[in-house]
Structure 1
Amino acid sequence: MGLSPKAFTFATGCFVALGSILFGYDLGVIAGVLVAQDFIDTTGNPDATYIGFIVSALLLGAFCGCIPAGLLADRFGRRWAIVVGCVIFMLGGILQTAAMNREMMIAGRFFAGMAIGMLSMLAPLYQSEIAHPSIRGRLTTLQQFFLGIGAFIASFVVYGMQVHHAGTAAQWRFPLGLQMAPCVPLATMIFLFPESPRWLMSVGKEEESVAALARLHANGDTKDNLVLAEAAELKAALAHEREVETGWASLFTNRKNFRRILMGITLQFSVQMTGVSVFQYYAPAVFANLGFGAERSLLFQSISSVVALIAQFSCILLVDRLGRRQPLIWANIAIGVTFIIGTALQARYPASTGNIGAAYAYIVMTWLFNFAFSCAVGPISWAYPAEIFSTSIRAKGTAVTSMACWVANFMIAQVSPIALDSIGWRYYLVFVVCSFTNALTFYLFFPETAGRTLEEMEQYINESGYLVPLHKSRGLRSATEREEELRRGITAVTGADEVLQQVQQVPSAGDSDKYSNNDEKLAQKV
């Protein structure tokens, strides 16, 4: 028995999310690499500033990878862009694993980062464009879940190497080499899965677009009502988009597009201003300040990875039911509370006091922080930008907003080791303030995107007021209800009804002499 359409689409989304493992694995592995004695010796005993640059070279590369990813995705399709990202990552992984000095290590980090910047943008882009309306959030939040899987694997690999191979080259070279493993199946098997039907329609390949939609949403049945309604909305939306400028400049010169860009950039910056990268990159150093050794610190990080996976899985299960807006608001408030408690503990009971109870209480706060972050902030930060842009500018828009992610990430990675050395726990006060201002920003300016198709999002966001609480359509709509409307032929995009009626007027396929290849006729008509 074959997979149901939703199961097949979900499996496709999971496969593409293999690229997300790369970033998650690097987040988990670099903290252990930086404290390995052989790595320190090989790179010439780098100071805090240089350690920050080793970490942030990957982020600089990720920043540089976003625009090429958008160009490739629009020109050659989402799948070919993913393949290019995998090849570049292999180059970066080889350089890191074989690094003999700082320069080689930084070059490897840059190329690996460039690929991560590409793949982390392309995965939710592709996932959003293949998803059923009722499970779009579930697919796009897979990005963070697989990122968590990568971090989980890395934490235990690093812990195992610390226990069994401490002081050897293998302690850091083996974990860095292992990160290339997911690239092989992703690059070699991606063409077994359908291309994005939205990209296909945007480049005039209508028959292939309908066939891809049918394969994803109807077991290949191009006569399925859902497929025909989705294709009609997509074609109508693209016809409208062709009437306006859709180049790169339009992201900033068009007022409506610029609003979306600001929303995406704000969201990506808000992620880093929760302080998540401090724990991701420098957890061993943070825990060392509490008096814990390297082995115990890595164990705490491994437990934190498990907590994150549980939270990310919860997000996948609930995001289409709870939406995007409310989880972002409440998760940031929870993060702010954990930082208040954690900062107070460090201020009142520094490591010099030897208060082991306070130290463990702080560790628990980092786990609670990670749960709050991973159940909403991390996953939705990748899902939301891929939903708010129209098809013609989606790759461009997500490329620009992803660049904001890496700029913010670069800033935190570079500043954090210096700030921790200079002002200690006072540095955390920045994240206390920002977590609460994040929540207020989402409440005021971010409309709910769940329960709507990508094609109707253009009109919905344009009609939503800049102050969302004052707009009557801010509420969450059932994604299942929207999908059922499509199955009944109810569309929400101007002009889609006319396209759908043309298809429905095609005579029955029962006349085999006249319509021996009815699927092709329907595809051409749409």
Structure 2
Amino acid sequence: MVVQGERLYHQGLVAGGFAFVSFGWDAGVLGGVLLTPEFQESMGYPDTTTVSMITSVFLLASWLGCIIISLFGMKLGRRVWIIIGAVLQILGSIICVASYGYGQLIAGRVVIGVGNGFCTSMVPVYVAEMAVRKERRGQGVNLMIAMATVGVAIAYWVDFGMVFAHGTTAVWRFPVAFQIVWSLLCIATFWPMPDTARWHYATGNTEEGDRILQRMYNAALTDNAVETSKKDILASLELEKTATAKLRVKDFFYDTSDLQAARRIRTGVLLVAIAYLMGINVIFYYTTVIFQSYIGLKALTASGLSGALNTVLVVANMLGVIFMEKFKRRTWLLAGSAGQSVFMAVFVGLLSTPGPKTGAAAAAMLFCWVVFFGPTWGPVTYVYSSDIMPLRYRHIGFSLSVSAQWLMAFVTVFAGPIAIADTNVGWKTWIWFLVFNVIAFPYVYFCCPETRGRTLEEIDLIFMSDNIRGTAAAKQLEHQYSSDPSTENVDSLQEKGAVATETKAEEKEAA
């Protein structure tokens, strides 16, 4: 029986969810075992710099995986790249499990990281493009990030349980090996899935695009909804063929093109980069170390609190999934920045005056910060970045956005512990993270137009110049907004300042 309609989309969510559980598992699994005697002995008692490299090289390799996708992502399709990524994660995990030195462990994590870059670049794009109902698109992409936090939390609780298995390297080898299970489940669930209709249309395979679009809607091509969706996709592709819609280097600095593709990519890249300069990856990877070494809690207490903190992150993420479409994308991001800034500021202040009581209070502030980050800057940056990218360049734009995550995460995870361990810097390192929690607010307010309530193709209307607004393709995308008075049109968005158009330069040039 061929899976179609809502069941097809739900199967895609499950498959993508396994890929992101695998990502979260690797992000959290080492954090709970770094300080165990068994891991330290196996790795030859590595110093702080070596430990930082063991954990952070995965992030740099993930960045490399994203860059590969940005260059070749359109060649094989969304689904095939995801499966290749899962296979690489399995191979890398095997290398890691067999490690008897940090060199081999680093090599294995490089392989895992490249595969992770493939998956994190393509899974959200796949989920967004397979969503038939636009009000479900944000929830679906949000759910992927929630599943990553599920992976982190489960990994930390498994680490906590393995703490009691003294005297055997299974303390760290078993948690590392278990990532293979998630990758196998990812492959098994993605294998029978089709690629997205949008990818097939973009690569000229119209017949296959028609077939998959009918499966997505569980209706014939002559059905009004299916026919309209196809026309919108083809209209969007037609607009992207215009000469001024092509990517030009100068447009990444000041975009005067008709669809502002470069601006849209730049917006997504900077948004995700800011999110991962807020400190979340340092918290992900070194939760136990933060509680034990920097706040001064006992080993067992620190391990238990690590699991609890990451469980709180899961709950916060899931609440974000449930209420994603109740509020605008900008509302989530602005509220998150405001709340995170307050709690990070208090956290920094408490770390500056160490002691048992201030340490406990600092731990509480970290929990509060995670509650705000969980439903906002954690997932919504992915949702927004997958929203705004033009179809022909979606693999480039989104993979570069995710690459910014991995590059910024590498910087913080590698340099963060070294800076914190330096007595001349110490707690002041967290001021760096505080700064980015604060500057996130004005960035969203002035640079990120609202995208909720629009299909992926209708988002072109937000960035479209007047030069092409009167074309047949543009009018095709405007069909809903000419008939739905409840939907905010582009002109009203511009009047409110949500869309900072960059087309005035064209008028100056013409003059």
Instruction: Assess same fold via TM > 0.5.
Output: yes
Question: Hey, what's the Cα distance between the residues in 2 that align with 1:280 and 1:420?
Answer: 16
Which one-letter code corresponds to 2:243 in the other structure? V
Contact 2:34-2:40 within 8 A present in 1 as well: yes
Shift of 1:103: 0.9
Corresponding residue of 2:433: 431
**Helix, strand or coil for the counterpart of 1:375?**
coil
Q: Deviations over 1:67-115 (max 9, x none)?
A: 2234453112111111111111111111111111111000011111111
Question: Hey, what's the Cα distance between the residues in 2 that align with 1:151 and 1:47?
Answer: 25
Which one-letter code corresponds to 1:76 in the other structure? L
Shift of 1:7: 5.3
Q: State the number of aligned residues.
A: 466
**Helix, strand or coil for the counterpart of 2:458?**
helix
Q: Deviations over 1:27-78 (max 9, x none)?
A: 2211113112122112121111111111111011101101223445311211
Corresponding residue of 1:179: 179
**Helix, strand or coil for the counterpart of 1:447?**
coil
Which one-letter code corresponds to 1:426 in the other structure? K
* Cα distance change, pair 248–440 in 1 and its aligned pair in 2 (3 A): closer
Q: Deviations over 1:343-399 (max 9, x none)?
A: 222223x13xx33xx332222211111111111101012111111111111001112
Corresponding residue of 1:389: 389
* Cα distance change, pair 326–463 in 1 and its aligned pair in 2 (3 A): farther
1:448 to 445, 450, 454: 450
Question: Hey, what's the Cα distance between the residues in 2 that align with 1:13 and 1:463?
Answer: 35
Corresponding residue of 2:331: 326
Corresponding residue of 2:160: 159
After TM superposition, the structure 1 = structure 2 runs for residues 120-269 of structure 1, keeping only pairs within 5 Å, are 120-131=120-131, 132-163=133-164, 165-217=165-217, 219-244=218-243, 252=252, 255=256, 256-269=260-273
Corresponding residue of 2:310: 305
Shift of 1:484: 13
Q: Identical aligned pairs, as a percentage?
A: 27
Which one-letter code corresponds to 1:451 in the other structure? G
* Cα distance change, pair 245–371 in 1 and its aligned pair in 2 (3 A): same
Corresponding residue of 2:59: 59
Which one-letter code corresponds to 2:318 in the other structure? F
Question: Hey, what's the Cα distance between the residues in 2 that align with 1:420 and 1:67?
Answer: 30
Contact 2:28-2:152 within 8 A present in 1 as well: yes
Question: Hey, what's the Cα distance between the residues in 2 that align with 1:328 and 1:11?
Answer: 29
Which one-letter code corresponds to 2:453 in the other structure? G
Contact 1:133-1:482 within 8 A present in 2 as well: no
Question: Hey, what's the Cα distance between the residues in 2 that align with 1:11 and 1:483?
Answer: 31
Unaligned 5+ runs, structure 1: 465-480, 494-526
Would you say 1:273 and 2:277 are equivalent positions? yes
Shift of 1:246: 7.3
Let me know the Cα RMSD of the aligned residues: 2.6
Which one-letter code corresponds to 2:313 in the other structure? A
Question: Hey, what's the Cα distance between the residues in 1 that align with 2:137 and 2:441?
Answer: 23
Contact 1:214-1:224 within 8 A present in 2 as well: no
Question: Hey, what's the Cα distance between the residues in 1 that align with 2:305 and 2:60?
Answer: 28
Q: Deviations over 1:466-501 (max 9, x none)?
A: xxxxxxxxxxxxxxx969979xxx9x99xxxxxxxx
Corresponding residue of 2:502: none
**Helix, strand or coil for the counterpart of 2:99?**
coil
Question: Hey, what's the Cα distance between the residues in 2 that align with 1:178 and 1:107?
Answer: 18
Question: Hey, what's the Cα distance between the residues in 1 that align with 2:365 and 2:80?
Answer: 42
Would you say 1:81 and 2:86 are equivalent positions? no
Corresponding residue of 1:512: none
**Helix, strand or coil for the counterpart of 1:181?**
helix
**Helix, strand or coil for the counterpart of 1:454?**
coil
Question: Hey, what's the Cα distance between the residues in 2 that align with 1:5 and 1:126?
Answer: 15
* Cα distance change, pair 72–365 in 1 and its aligned pair in 2 (3 A): same
* Cα distance change, pair 159–42 in 1 and its aligned pair in 2 (3 A): same
Which one-letter code corresponds to 1:221 in the other structure? A
Question: Hey, what's the Cα distance between the residues in 1 that align with 2:97 and 2:252?
Answer: 41
* Cα distance change, pair 214–72 in 1 and its aligned pair in 2 (3 A): same
Shift of 1:191: 3.3
* Cα distance change, pair 88–248 in 1 and its aligned pair in 2 (3 A): farther
2:296 to 274, 291, 295: 291
Q: Deviations over 1:123-156 (max 9, x none)?
A: 1111111112121101111221110110121011
Q: Which stretch shifts more, 65-74 or 25-34?
A: 65-74
Q: Deviations over 1:257-305 (max 9, x none)?
A: 2212221121121112211112111112211122212221111111112
Question: Hey, what's the Cα distance between the residues in 2 that align with 1:390 and 1:125?
Answer: 11
Corresponding residue of 1:335: 340
Contact 2:388-2:459 within 8 A present in 1 as well: yes
**Helix, strand or coil for the counterpart of 2:350?**
helix
Contact 1:385-1:401 within 8 A present in 2 as well: yes
Question: Hey, what's the Cα distance between the residues in 2 that align with 1:160 and 1:112?
Answer: 24
Question: Hey, what's the Cα distance between the residues in 1 that align with 2:244 and 2:66?
Answer: 21
Contact 2:139-2:321 within 8 A present in 1 as well: yes
* Cα distance change, pair 3–74 in 1 and its aligned pair in 2 (3 A): closer
* Cα distance change, pair 119–483 in 1 and its aligned pair in 2 (3 A): farther
Contact 2:62-2:114 within 8 A present in 1 as well: yes
Question: Hey, what's the Cα distance between the residues in 1 that align with 2:428 and 2:384?
Answer: 32
Corresponding residue of 1:460: 462
Q: Which stretch shifts more, 362-371 or 100-109?
A: 362-371
Shift of 1:452: 0.9
Question: Hey, what's the Cα distance between the residues in 1 that align with 2:78 and 2:347?
Answer: 43
1:315 to 317, 320, 337: 320
